Amino acid sequence: MRKHIEGFIQQLEDAFSIGEKSAFSIPDKKLNNVLILGVGGSGIGGTVVAKTALLGAGIPVMTCNDYHIPEYVDENTLVIACSYSGNTEETLTALKKCQNKGTEIAAVTSGGELKRICEEHNYNHIIIPGGNPPRTCLGYSLTEQFFILIKYKILPEAAVEELKSAIQLLKENESSIIEEAKTLADNLFGKLPVIYSTDKFEPVSIRFRQQLNENSKELCWHQKFPEMNHNEIVGWASGNSNLSVVMFRNHDDYYRTQERMEFMKKVILDKGSTVTEIHSKGNSFIEKALYLIYLTDWASLFIAEKKEIDPVEIRVIDALKDHLATIK
């Protein structure tokens, strides 16, 4: 796992090159919305891209992490199917339903059934290198989905420059990111992590939660501001010293939300728990998001190493897949 995280910046650069070289045939029809299919390690890229697109696209961009698709999907929907292996059953099932509705389809995959379907139906698709755990290939899936949205003119060309800037930001701050990740891991080790962010940065929280689940073999949860101030804040009345909170902060968070976070920090500390604030760097959303993701990916690895466990191992997921294979 260490080599995968160490290679994240290079992966982004490789993915950028693949995206630039990919050739698409774009239909002459109006697209009213976008649906991104994907689950788990193949789905998190779409979660980040969807939030990015909502900030810069002129049409709705949603994600689907299930077998079922929304009723609004029709021939004027762009569907982006992302399955690293190409054989993710939820994604393939949802894709079949999209095909039946005559949607415009594009895909990101390393091969498998999804690649076969794309070649059979002449769907636009981007092939990425295979053979790795899906969660280690976020740089590929995220970047190629960016390029798909740009090629369909759903995101502006400026998004390419923001992605370039994000890669440069990680290069310039790599050493300090790793050091901060070590501190975060120390603060979370032996505790139950609780992850808080603004609504805008919930994709970062989701990624960190998933990395703690898979790499660190930890249960945890995440919530977002201001929503949690209307419910979860009351749950802190009982207090729990075994909890350790991570707050993702950004210099341009809405001022009233920042006041909410400051108030919440005092509540948590008064109840005997700890709070670690992680401040992003960068200007655009994708710069800040990738900065925080890279930092927390490292933290999940450091916790696994402190626990002396294998961060790659996912036997329980494999067991579930074996069980589902017995069901027709």
Q: How far apart are CA 78 and CA 222, in angstroms?
A: 30
- What is the pLDDT at residue 55? 81
Residue recorded with tokens 């703690």:
212
User: What are 266's two structure tokens?
Assistant: 């005092």
End-to-end CA distance of the chain: 34
Q: List, for residues 212-267, the tens digit of each pLDDT value.
A: 999 999 999 999 999 999 999 999 999 899 999 999 999 999 999 999 999 999 99
Please say whether the beta carbons of 220 and 296 come within 8 A: no
266 is known as an active-site residue: no
- What is the pLDDT at residue 140? 97
Return the CATH number of the domain spanning residue range 2-156.
3.40.50.10490
113 is known as an active-site residue: no
Domains 2-156 and 174-307 share a fold: yes
- What is the pLDDT at residue 261? 98
Q: List, for residues 128-172, the tens digit of each pLDDT value.
A: 999 999 999 999 999 999 999 999 999 998 898 999 999 999 999
Q: List, for residues 177-222, the tens digit of each pLDDT value.
A: 999 999 999 999 999 999 999 999 999 999 999 999 999 999 999 9
- What is the pLDDT at residue 206? 98
Catalytic option among 90, 104, 202, 214: 214
Neighbouring-strand partners of residue 40 = none
Residue recorded with tokens 């073999």:
217
Q: How far apart are CA 42 and CA 291, in angstroms?
A: 20
- Answer whether the bond into residue 226 is a cis peptide, omega within 30°: yes
Tell me the pTM.
0.95
Q: List, for residues 292-321, the tens digit of each pLDDT value.
A: 999 999 999 999 999 999 999 999 998 988
pLDDT exceeds cutoff 90 at 54: no
Three-state secondary-structure class, residue 28: coil
251 is known as an active-site residue: no
Q: How far apart are CA 295 and CA 323, in angstroms?
A: 35
Q: Where are the beta strands (DSSP E) in 87-150?
A: 104-109, 124-127
CATH homologous superfamily, domain 174-307: Glucose-6-phosphate isomerase like protein; domain 1 (3.40.50.10490)
Q: How far apart are CA 5 and CA 297, in angstroms?
A: 7
Catalytic option among 96, 171, 266, 321: 321
Q: Over 135-152, what HEC string results?
A: HHHHHHHHHHHHHHHHHC
Catalytic option among 3, 30, 230, 328: 230
Domain-wise residue ranges, the chain: 2-156, 174-307
User: What are 52's two structure tokens?
Assistant: 């990015």
Q: Cα–Cα–Cα angle for 125, 67, 36, nearest 5°?
A: 40
